[in-house]
Amino acid sequence: MDGSTQIKDLDKTEENKQLVRNFIENVLMKGGKPDLVSKYIGPEKPVAHGKKLVDDLEHLRSRAVDPNRPLTYDEIVLMAGQGNFVATLCKTHRMEGRTKQDFATVDIFRLENGMVVEHWDNVEPVPEKDVNGGKF
């Protein structure tokens, strides 16, 4: 894991959690307004640690506004934060043709001055239930 790991701004924990919630709900969820991405992600070069992400605000903006974006957020399942770090577990999906594949997506955001400046993620497919055996 690279990037800053120093926890600071403990007095801003709730404010930072609300900012991340607003970012996911207002930008990443279906029906959101992805053109608001610059309201949440700092104008400096944001650091993205995901496999397919580039450290560039314009790249992030273009991915957010793309109607065929690779991942759509459906629900925030869990959120935890301390100071300048906020972690979320979200239900997301990707359309592959007409087939919808659900994913569990974990995001970790580092914030500075009310903006996301660094991001880590992990996306794992959620297996379909076997209706006959109840297995995943």
d(CA 100, CA 94): 6
Supply the pTM of this predicted model.
Answer: 0.82
Helix (H/G/I), strand (E/B), else coil: 47: strand
pLDDT at site 136: 45
Could you give the C-alpha distances from 18 to 95, 96, 110, 125, 134, in angstroms and in order? Answer: 28, 32, 13, 27, 37
Contact 86, 20 (CB under 8 A): yes
Cβ–Cβ < 8 Å for 41, 60: yes
pLDDT in tens, 24-62: 999 888 877 877 888 988 777 556 656 555 555 566 666
Which tens digit of pLDDT belongs to each residue from 55-99?
A: 555 666 666 666 666 788 999 999 999 999 999 999 999 887 788
CA dihedral 97, 26, 120, 101 (to 10 degrees): -20
User: Among candidates 64, 65, 124, 62, which has minimal Cα distance to 93?
Assistant: 124
**CATH of the structural domain 10-125, one choice from 3.30.9.10, 3.10.450.50, 3.30.200.20, 1.10.3720.10:** 3.10.450.50
* Alpha-carbon span 61 to 91, nearest angstrom: 21
**Domain limits of the chain?**
10-125
The radius of gyration of the chain from alpha carbons, rounded to an integer in Å, stands at: 16
Output the pLDDT for position 79: 98
Asked if 24 and 76 count as a contact pair (C-beta separation under 8 A), the reply is yes
